[in-house]
């Protein structure tokens, strides 16, 4: 144990505080201290993207950021996407396109896609693939995920998708 530090974060619009060891990553604090277990941890060294959240509007690896580094920041996690208990349009589009199977990587993908859509409301397929290149999915083969993003942004799904409409 090392000395603990008081931190204050805004998580999904709500002020949260915690008293944490400095070596706790943002992912650890979200999951263990704030009990927001929607953020998944995969590799825990920055390769897989499962733990992606938004820090002050930008996608970031919550496993590669100590919570103490982002004191005072605004964090958005997968729990922050639904509106009044209803899946948001991105979540609905992903469901309609079968954009996940086991679901482990899904929170990271959705947060990365949210960041992409905030910056670029109509991304092309290459832009989608570039933005998602840091997120690993071992089930879907990615086609249905890309199709989900196209659907969410009001574009027709890719023609060679394995999930024809």
Which residues sit at the interface with other proteins, rule CB under 8 A? 1-3, 5, 21-25, 28, 32-33, 44-46, 49, 52, 55, 58-61, 63-66, 68-71, 112, 115, 131, 133-134
Q: State the CB neighbour count (10 A cutoff) for residue 58.
A: 10
Cβ nearer to other proteins, comparing 44 with 98: 44
Cβ nearer to other proteins, comparing 21 with 79: 21
Strands 74-76 and 5-11: parallel
Cβ nearer to other proteins, comparing 23 with 122: 23
Please answer whether residues 137 and 145 qualify as being in contact, where contact means their C-beta atoms are separated by less than 8 angstroms: yes
Token pair, residue 115, equals 């960041």
> Half-sphere exposure of 161 toward its Cβ, with a 13 Å CA cutoff?
22
Q: What minimum distance in Å lies between the beta carbon of 33 and other proteins?
A: 7
Q: What minimum distance in Å lies between the beta carbon of 125 and other proteins?
A: 15
């Amino acid at each position: 144990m090392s000395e603990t530090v008081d931190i204050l974060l805004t998580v999904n619009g709500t002020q949260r505080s915690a008293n944490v060891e400095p070596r706790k990553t943002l992912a650890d604090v979200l999951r263990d201290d704030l009990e927001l277990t929607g953020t998944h941890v995969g590799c825990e060294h920055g390769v897989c993207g499962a733990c992606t959240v938004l820090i002050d509007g930008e996608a970031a690896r919550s496993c590669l950021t100590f919570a103490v580094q982002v004191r005072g920041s605004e964090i958005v996690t997968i729990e922050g996407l639904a509106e009044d208990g209803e899946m948001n349009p991105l979540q609905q589009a992903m469901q309609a396109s079968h954009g996940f199977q086991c679901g482990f990587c899904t929170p990271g993908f959705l947060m990365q896609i949210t960041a992409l859509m905030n910056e670029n409301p109509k991304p092309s397929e290459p832009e989608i693939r570039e933005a998602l290149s840091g997120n690993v999915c071992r089930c879907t083969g990615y086609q249905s995920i890309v199709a989900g993003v196209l659907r969410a942004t009001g574009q027709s799904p890719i023609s060679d998708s394995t999930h024809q409409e």
